[in-house]
């Protein structure tokens, strides 16, 4: 696998080696020893999967405090724009974001450490999105920042009227009102 450090410290793009022939393809999606040697030790405790249609925007989600989660995400079917927003007050990139297109074709993965808000926008007719997390979901620690917060300024490539949001995501707080990490 090829590990690429993004412009935000701790956030990585991982490109697997894909072996394709007339039968289809084979790839290793996760190799703990290799992952740990490039990124550091992360103990994943849960795998999640979602299915969404075009225009669905999930995020920007995070869990507060000790319930924060590191995530390793990828797309099995379709295409999404995936976004990580730095909520670490001590970071030189605090309030900045990095985005990457993940798809069934490029098979890239995105590692997002603890201390970040995360979201994605479905760009294909349908997307199946999967992610590993290193901490169990804690509803009492759940938080959401508005997808269109002006301070962050994410450039979502779908017209606002085409976006499909959950009620919860529609009520997300501004970046200024979010809880940050030390």
Select which of 38, 61, 62, 180 is catalytic.
61
Active site residue 137: no
Please check whether residue 85 is in contact with residue 116, taking contact to mean a CB–CB distance below 8 angstroms. Answer: yes
Tell the residue number behind the tokens 């779908």, with chain if given. 158
Burial label, 23 (beta-carbon count in 10 A; 0-12, 13-18, 19+): exposed
How many whole angstroms separate alpha carbon 62 and alpha carbon 40? 21
Which residues touch 151 (CB under 8 Å, ≥6 apart)?
A: 95, 174, 175, 176
Q: Which of 62, 97, 131, 147 is catalytic?
A: 131
3-state secondary structure 63-80: ECHHHCCCEEEEEEECEE
In 3D, which of 6, 52, 39 has the Cα closest to residue 134? 39
61 is catalytic: yes
**Catalytic residue numbers?**
61, 131
């Amino acid at each position: 696998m090829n590990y690429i450090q993004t412009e935000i410290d701790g956030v990585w793009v991982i490109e697997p080696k894909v072996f394709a022939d007339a039968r289809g393809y084979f790839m290793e999606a996760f190799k703990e020893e290799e992952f740990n040697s490039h990124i550091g030790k992360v103990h994943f405790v849960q795998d999640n999967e979602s299915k969404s249609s075009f225009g669905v925007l999930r995020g920007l989600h995070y869990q507060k405090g000790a319930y924060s989660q590191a995530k390793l995400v990828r797309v099995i079917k379709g295409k999404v724009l995936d976004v990580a927003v730095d909520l670490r007050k001590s970071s030189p990139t605090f309030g900045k974001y990095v985005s990457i297109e993940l798809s069934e074709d490029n098979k890239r993965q995105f590692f997002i450490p603890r201390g970040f808000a995360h979201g994605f926008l479905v760009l294909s007719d349908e997307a199946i999105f999967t992610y590993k997390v290193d901490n169990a979901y804690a509803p009492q620690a759940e938080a959401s920042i508005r997808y269109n917060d002006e301070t962050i300024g994410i450039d979502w490539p779908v017209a606002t009227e085409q976006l499909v949001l959950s009620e919860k995501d529609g009520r997300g707080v501004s970046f200024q009102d979010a809880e940050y990490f030390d």
